[in-house]
Amino acid sequence: MGAIPTQELKLDGAGMEAVVARADFAGDPENLLAFVRSLDSRTSWPGAQLQYQHGDHLIYGVSMRLRGAALTDITIDEEVGAVQRREDGALYLRTAQQVTWPDGNADGLTEYLVLPQPESGTHALQFTYAYARPSSKLVKSKHLSEFKEGMQVVSNRYVSNLVKAAQGG
């Protein structure tokens, strides 16, 4: 698994797709990101099965059914980066993943970006999930758009669940 990228996620020409999900939350952004760094936070994924955490290293499974995909039971081996602060005050962390699909391995990247919204007194969590385009064994070319729509729906649910769990709800 490669190092966690420290620059903005750049996907052009990388053979990756990306989905972005967002949710507003009240509370301390640093507490939210501390929760994101934990294995327990991954229960916010539909069908999550927690396996292992050692420091910044997480291993967990996710079992979900997406339209257009033959099978979407995966195991994720994830390295979680440190929380960092941008010049504009936003906080973020990134992870690098090796995802084991039914027909092999693929790389994934995530970014959790907390944007302050001083006018509303809340913050926004923006989650970007970049994943290697699935093989034709997993998703037929004609179903790629359905698969990406499914990934968007699941990511939206994950972020919503994540914010609720971090706030104790």
For residue 2, being part of any structural domain is answered with no
Cα distance between residue 50 and residue 60, in whole Å? 5
For residue 8, being part of any structural domain is answered with no
Cα dihedral 39/64/73/127 (nearest 10): -50
Cα distance between residue 157 and residue 169, in whole Å? 14
pLDDT of res. 165: 96
pLDDT of res. 78: 97
Average per-residue pLDDT for the chain: 86
User: Rounded mean pLDDT of 127-148?
Assistant: 85
Helix axes 29-36, 144-166, angle to 10 degrees: 120
Cα distance between residue 110 and residue 39, in whole Å? 15
For residue 20, being part of any structural domain is answered with yes
For residue 66, being part of any structural domain is answered with yes
pLDDT of res. 4: 47
pLDDT digits (tens, 9 = 90+) for 38-65: 999 999 998 899 999 999 999 999 887 6
Tokens 């979680």 appear where?
Answer: 80
Query: What residues make up the domain containing 112?
Result: 16-166
Residue 125: give its domain's CATH number.
3.30.530.20
pLDDT digits (tens, 9 = 90+) for 83-121: 999 999 899 999 999 988 777 788 999 999 999 888 888
- State how many domains the chain has: 1
pLDDT over threshold 70, residue 2: no
pLDDT of res. 66: 67
pLDDT of res. 49: 95
pLDDT digits (tens, 9 = 90+) for 22-42: 999 998 999 999 999 999 999
